Amino acid sequence: MTDPGGLDLFRLDGRVAVVTGASSGLGARFARVLAGAGASVVVAARRADRLEALAGELEGAIAVPCDLADPAGRDQLVGTALDRYGKIDVLVNNAGVGTPEPAESETVERFREVLEVNVTAAFALTQAVARSMLERGSGSVVNVSSILGLVGSGQIPFPSYAASKGAVVALTRELAAQWSRRGVRVNAIAPGWFESEMTAEMFADERSMAWVARKAPMGRAGEPHELDGALLFLASDASSYVTGQILAVDGGWTAV
């Protein structure tokens, strides 16, 4: 019997987790964290070599190289996970794109492309995974939004990315409202400034990092491990009465 107040609530033994955008950065970290908590992890991204290397590190993990913007890629991912494990307990929608660009110069075509990957593809994959979750009456979806889906930055212009992450916030709440009585929880993490491929140039620039230090109440950017607890909380039974929530992990950025 699980201790209602114990750390066992954060364990994922016997569960299957799918993590997208797992070939590098935060996605690879998320996969390692879930595997460390006992989950069998299915990692997905476009770069097969990096994905296979990651899966090789994690006991019981499998890699599914695919393009999630392509319906065939989504079908391949869900089908492979269900064929191998028979179920999906956790979905982490981490895959995303974005390039800083002033609003007056970003093309409409690029705007559409970012929303297609960050919102439409994430919704389509969630829909496909949720069908099996709803049949079983259980599951946890963890979307990865951003503080730019909650507040504007201005000094780092990201119109399409901010719009897409704001849409992820609204989608998270709507799916949670629709599916909560059927056993499927949907929440999101909204990271502040963490180093990744998308932010590598920013982290290499002293002025940018000084700006982050001035703006963040904690006076610094986040360290990769500082998302681990939020991920495990939302993925596991530790958050069994939590749905439709956006958990900002941002050093206080959105509090001021």
Q: Per-residue confidence of the chain (256 residues) as pLDDT tens digits?
A: 445 667 899 999 999 999 999 999 999 999 999 999 999 999 999 999 999 999 999 999 999 999 999 999 999 999 999 999 999 999 999 999 998 999 999 999 999 999 999 999 999 999 999 999 999 999 999 999 999 999 998 788 899 999 999 999 999 999 999 999 999 999 999 999 999 888 888 899 999 999 999 999 999 999 999 999 999 999 999 999 999 999 999 999 999 9
Active-site annotation, residues:
161
Look at residue 199 in the predicted model and tell me its pLDDT. Answer: 86
Exposed/middle/buried for residue 131 (C-beta within 10 Å: 0-12, 13-18, 19+): exposed
Per-residue pLDDT, 3: 54
Check residue 51 and give its pLDDT: 96
- The string of DSSP letters for 66-115 reads --TTSHHHHHHHHHHHHHHHS---EEEE---------TTTS-HHHHHHHH
Asked whether the beta carbons of 67 and 48 are under 8 A apart, the reply is no
Task: Determine the residue type at 118.
Answer: N
Q: pLDDT value at position 1?
A: 42
Report how far residue 253's alpha carbon sits from residue 66's, in angstroms, rounded to the nearest whole number: 34
Domains of the chain: 9-248 (3.40.50.720)
Check residue 156 and give its pLDDT: 83
Query: Exposed, middle or buried: residue 67 (CB in 10 Å: 0-12, 13-18, 19+)?
Result: middle
pLDDT of residue 196: 86
